[in-house]
Chain A
Amino acid sequence: DVKVTQSSRYLVKRTGEKVFLECVQDMDHENMFWYRQDPGLGLRLIYFSYDVKMKEKGDIPEGYSVSREKKERFSLILESASTNQTSMYLCASSSPRGGRPQETQYFGPGTRLLVL
């Protein structure tokens, strides 16, 4: 079974802190994604990556950056956390590189981040 793990289930940070959210997948998938999920807004794509050291902006990249130094790991970075970044963050992975319309994405359990 594909496993996508996220470093924390719950996280509390203060405004202005630098926050790292880590995601690891164990199926050698090329594609990795970071979404955030908010009530009434559904899931929105923040960043994605098709390969090591590759990154592409999603729909809402402002205030975030990412890092993909190894194939299995995709990190989301909040350079200076703000209260409007309080959300559920979901990581996903898939294969093959670039995706196909019939490919499926595998999600991690999510990190619920609260910024005070």
Chain B
Amino acid sequence: DAKTTQPNSMESNEEEPVHLPCNHSTISGTDYIHWYRQLPSQGPEYVIHGLTSNVNNRMASLAIAEDRKSSTLILHRATLRDAAVYYCILRPPLGNTGKLIFGQGTTLQVKP
């Protein structure tokens, strides 16, 4: 399984944008890039995913490098509620068990 590398922790100020990086240099051409986050004392929740093009949804944006070896999750205006552990996960094509392989993630602290 292709691996991802994320910083252990990051800090942000409330209402400022946050860029959470993820390196995945061994990604294959058909792996999807997913982001989940886990708020304190809760189960993980889906944030966004993409394959090659940048993606936007109501929660965040995903910027994918042209060579796909890295990606960045962008929270446009961080709120205190965005303090969580953010996981960058690669999903291989059909034929995989469907399991998610979570790394250590990035703990995001948002300061008021």
Are A102's CB and B98's CB within 8 A?
no
**A64: min CB distance to chain B, Å:** 15
**A49: min CB distance to chain B, Å:** 10
Contact partner of A42 among B32, B42, B103, CB < 8 A?
B103
Chain B: residues with Cβ within 8 Å of the partner, total of 25
Given A101-B32, A101-B94, residue A42 in contact with residue B46 (CB < 8 A) = no
With both beta carbons as reference points, the residue of chain A lying nearest to B94 in the complex is identified as: A100
Contact partner of A92 among B32, B34, B43, CB < 8 A?
B43
Indicate whether A63 reaches chain B with its CB closer than 8 angstroms: no
Given A101-B30, A101-B91, residue A107 in contact with residue B96 (CB < 8 A) = no
**What interface size band does chain A fall in?**
20 to 34
Are B96's CB and A101's CB within 8 A?
yes
Complexed CA–CA distance, A33 and B49 (Å): 20
Instruction: Give the interface centre of A100, A101, A104, A105 by most chain B CB atoms within 10 Å.
Output: A101
Within residues 87 to 108 of chain B, which ones have a CB less than 8 A from any CB in chain A?
91-94, 96-100, 102-105
Given A101-B30, A102-B91, residue A42 in contact with residue B102 (CB < 8 A) = yes
**A88: min CB distance to chain B, Å:** 9
Within residues 1 to 49 of chain A, which ones have a CB less than 8 A from any CB in chain B?
4, 31, 33, 40, 42-43, 45, 48
Contact partner of A102 among B41, B49, B104, CB < 8 A?
B49
> What are the 3 A-B residue pairs with the smallest beta carbon separation, nearest first?
A99-B98, A107-B43, A43-B102
Residues of A within 8 A of B (CB): 4, 31, 33, 40, 42-43, 45, 48, 50, 56, 58-59, 90-92, 94, 98-110
Residues of B within 8 A of A (CB): 30-32, 34, 41-46, 49, 51, 91-94, 96-100, 102-105
